Amino acid sequence: MHIDRRERNYVIFTIILITVFAGLVMVSGFAYGIQVPEPFMEVDPNTVATPPSPWGAPVDERVRELAPNKYEAYILAQTWTFLPNRITVPVGSTVTFYVTSKDVQHGFNVQQTNVNMMVVPGEVSTLTLTFDEPGEYTFVCNEYCGVGHQTMYGTVVVEP
């Protein structure tokens, strides 16, 4: 197949470019640990909201302090609220979110951070975030879940 010299150089250049792009995904994933939500655990959506499931505990006991400045938050997504939808932690805290749904698909996005994951019934979505600046961080459901979707949000209060 005859290929024009300019076109051939261009195609070679684009192949290098997209190879670099693909390589970056690997480098940032394996060298820097910037990975995305991965399979963590499966649950039964019909029983996930009842004890002894951690999402069945009283709402104010679903945020647990594991060590100083180290928290885990079990958040249950349901139409159209998160429970708990107000979480208070001191500044500098590292919070691991464990989010699951007891009904339809939802989303969980802490604004202006990389915590952005799908919440699929039957599965647990998890990511960890460190809050270095005091203030209020809104988290929203960003997957359409019915006509009350827009009312589904909550706040992480980071106290100085």
Partner 1 sequence: MAAISAPAQTKFRTCPVTALKVDLAAEKLIKANAVTAIVFLAIGGLFALLLAFTRWQAVHLLPADWFYRLLTAHGLDMLVVWIVFFEVAGLYFGGTVVLNARLVFPKIAWLAFIMMLVGALLVNGIVLAGKADVMFTAYAPLVADPIFYLGIILFAVGALVAVFVFFATIVTAKKEKTYEGSLPLFTYGLVAAAIIATYALLSGALALVPALLTSLGLMEVDPAYYRNLFWGFGHTAQQINLAAMVAIWYALAQITVGAVPVNEKLSRFAFILYLLAINLGSAHHLLVDPGYSFAWKTFNTSYIMYLAVLGSLIHAFSIPAAVEVAQRRKGFTNGLFGWLRKAPWKEPGFSALVVSMMIFGWIGGVTGVTIGTEQINMTAHNTMRLPGHFHATVVAGTTLAFMGITYYLIPLIFRKPLKFPRVASWQPYVYGGGMLIVSIFMIAAGLMGAPRRNWQINLAEYPGATGLMFAIIAFGATIAVIGGLMFLWIVLASVFTGKQEDANRLTLVMKQENPLVEDALPNVGKEATGKYAPSGTLVIVFVFLMFFVVYYFSNWWLLGRAWIIR
Q: Is 135 in the site for partner 1 (CB under 8 A)?
A: no
Per-residue binder mask for partner 1 (CB under 8 A), 57-96, x = binder? ----------------------------------------
> Which range of residues in 47-55, 57-65, 83-91, 120-128 is near partner 1 by CB under 8 A?
120-128
Residue 154, token pair as written in the block: 């909550």
Q: Is 126 in the site for partner 1 (CB under 8 A)?
A: yes
Q: List helix spans (H) across the chain.
A: 5-26
Q: Is 50 in the site for partner 1 (CB under 8 A)?
A: no
> What whole-number distance in Å separates Cα of residue 2 and Cα of residue 8?
9
Q: Is 103 in the site for partner 1 (CB under 8 A)?
A: yes
Cβ burial of 157 (10 Å; 0-12, 13-18, 19+) is: middle
List 63, 75, 95, 145, residue binding partner 1 (CB under 8 A): 145
Pairing type for strands 70-78 and 94-101 reads: parallel
Q: Is 114 in the site for partner 1 (CB under 8 A)?
A: yes
Angle 108-114-116 (CA atoms, 0-180°, nearest 5)?
Answer: 20
Residues making contact with partner 1 (CB under 8 A) = 1-7, 10-11, 13-15, 17-18, 21-22, 24-26, 28-29, 32-40, 103-105, 107, 109, 111-126, 130, 132, 138, 140, 142-150, 153
